[in-house]
């Protein structure tokens, strides 16, 4: 079954065709319009998706060699409602025109199962650390559609912390890649930033870490940008991996996947492989938002017999573990 997946939940307009042999085409257009605002502006994102979605899907179909997919799916949430609506409505229109099944896909399930597109792919059950600009959650994935939340952030998402720290340092948006690059040239022991905990849970809190970076930056004898970036990155990765380690111990699950934009981080990618667990780390291009992760999840559910009605609506606050 060749499935077209469309993703427009934030600032990437993306489409992909996934078939029995894997990804046939995967086109991602990243909106640059937000850079000057230091963050994604929802209304501008929606408008920019309207301008690009048809061209991105056309290019994807042409590259895949599949002119008439067997099914169409799209991100229904979570995400920015106006942005989600664009890809979702276009996907439904294509499904109606081609007279093929349509399916709504949860964006976080897309990230979580993106390592299933790789070889070797993890087998259920596994732990999934989904770390993006809007979410930081650790799941126990027992099977397709069977997800349990083990830990989540009580305030900022990890990617948001990277973005906010970069903004404080005047490094632009998105912050993750810039901090990652600067950190490579710095001493990650230069500043001892705190490792906040939420008592009695595996949950994270990143706002305290962000605030302590802000306080440090105001000091007269502050460390260099490289050292601050490296020290902040070490603290953030320490916090993320600490919960993975504890969850692996509590659940007995030894397989772990990382996914979402922050999974592109060099230190996280390196250190998850040094924990004595069976780690699955998708290629960087598959960590940030893309259409292949949506087509992949849609295809898995379609093959399990799921279909959505064409009057299905978007679900901007859709939890993957409801
Ligand atoms: O998954 P994603 O593309 O979009 C959301 O669903 O949010 O994640 C975007 C987030 C941004 O916060 C960005 O700063 C972060 O991922 N990110 C990184 C890196 N590359 C992207 N964070 C740390 N290190 C990176 N190399
Ligand atoms: Zn995402």
Indicate the CATH number for domain 3-113+287-303: 3.30.420.40
| Ligand 1 mutation target, pool 114, 174, 281, most atoms within 8 A of CB | 174
pLDDT digits (tens, 9 = 90+) for 146-177: 999 999 999 999 999 999 999 999 998 889 99
Mean pLDDT of 270-286: 96
Report how far ligand 1's centroid is from the alpha carbon of 310 (Å).
32
Q: What is the pLDDT of residue 147?
A: 98
Domains 3-113+287-303 and 122-281 share a fold: yes
Q: Which atom of ligand 1 is nearest to the CA of 163?
A: 14
The yes-or-no verdict on residue 273 having pLDDT over 90 is yes
Residue whose tokens read 């048809």: 54
Report how far ligand 1's centroid is from the alpha carbon of 45 (Å).
17
Which CATH homologous superfamily contains domain 122-281? ATPase, nucleotide binding domain (3.30.420.40)
pLDDT digits (tens, 9 = 90+) for 91-128: 999 999 999 999 999 999 999 999 999 999 999 999 99
Residues with CB under 6 A from ligand 1: 10, 132-134, 159, 162-163, 174-177, 180, 260-262, 264-265, 288-289
The yes-or-no verdict on residue 38 having pLDDT over 90 is no
The CA distance from 243 to 225, in Å, is 28
Taking the domains of the chain in order of start, what are their residue ranges? 3-113+287-303, 122-281
| Ligand 1 mutation target, pool 110, 261, 268, most atoms within 8 A of CB | 261
Sign of the CA dihedral with 133 first, then 123, 297, and 21 last: positive
Mean pLDDT of 238-252: 97
Q: Is 43 exposed, middle or buried (0-12, 13-18, 19+ CB in 10 A)?
A: exposed
Give the closest ligand to the alpha carbon of residue 156.
1
Report how far ligand 2's centroid is from the alpha carbon of 191 (Å).
30
- Average pLDDT score over the chain: 96
Residue bearing the bigger pLDDT, 38 or 243 = 243
- Cβ(151)–Cβ(204) under 8 Å? yes
Q: Which atom of ligand 1 is nearest to the CA of 135?
A: 7
pLDDT digits (tens, 9 = 90+) for 208-244: 999 999 999 999 999 999 999 999 999 999 999 999 9
Q: H helices within the chain, ranges in order?
A: 42-64, 81-98, 107-112, 158-168, 175-183, 207-217, 225-251, 266-272, 292-303
Ligand 1 atom 10 nearest Cα: 133
Residue whose C-alpha is closest to residue 293's, from 3, 1, 64 = 3
Q: What is the pLDDT of residue 247?
A: 98
Report how far ligand 2's centroid is from the alpha carbon of 15 (Å).
14
The CA distance from 234 to 190, in Å, is 10
Q: What is the pLDDT of residue 177?
A: 96
Q: 188 pLDDT band (50/70/90 cuts)?
A: very high
pLDDT digits (tens, 9 = 90+) for 104-114: 999 999 999 99
């Amino acid at each position: 079954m060749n499935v077209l997946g469309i993703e427009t939940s934030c600032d990437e307009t993306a489409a992909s065709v996934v078939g029995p042999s894997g990804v046939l085409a995967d086109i991602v257009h990243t909106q640059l319009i937000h850079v000057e605002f230091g963050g994604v502006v929802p209304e501008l994102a929606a408008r920019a998706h309207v301008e690009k979605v048809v061209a991105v899907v056309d290019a994807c179909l042409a590259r895949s060699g599949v002119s008439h997919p067997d099914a169409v799916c799209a991100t229904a949430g979570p995400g920015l409602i106006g942005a989600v609506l664009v890809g979702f409505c276009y996907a439904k229109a294509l499904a109606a025109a081609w007279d093929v099944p349509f399916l709504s896909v949860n964006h976080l399930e897309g990230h979580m199962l993106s390592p299933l597109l790789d070889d070797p792919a993890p087998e259920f059950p596994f732990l999934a650390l989904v770390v993006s600009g809007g979410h930081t959650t650790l799941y126990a994935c027992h099977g397709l559609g069977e997800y349990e939340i083990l830990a989540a952030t009580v305030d900022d998402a990890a990617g948001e912390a990277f973005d906010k720290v970069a903004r404080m340092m005047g490094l632009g948006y998105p912050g993750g890649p810039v901090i990652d690059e600067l950190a490579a040239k710095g001493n990650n022991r230069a500043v001892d930033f705190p490792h906040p905990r939420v008592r009695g849970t595996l949950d994270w809190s990143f706002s305290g870490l962000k605030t302590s970076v802000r306080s440090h930056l105001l000091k007269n004898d502050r460390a260099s940008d490289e050292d601050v970036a490296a020290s902040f990155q070490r603290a953030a990765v320490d916090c993320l991996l600490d919960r993975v380690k504890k969850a692996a111990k509590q659940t007995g699950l030894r397989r772990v996947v990382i996914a979402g934009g922050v999974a592109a981080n060099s230190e996280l990618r390196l250190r998850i492989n040094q924990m004595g667990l069976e780690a699955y780390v998708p290629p960087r291009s598959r960590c940030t938002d893309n259409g292949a992760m949506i087509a992949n999840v849609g295809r898995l559910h379609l093959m399990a017999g799921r279909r959505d009605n064409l009057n299905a609506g978007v679900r901007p606050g859709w939890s993957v573990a409801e």
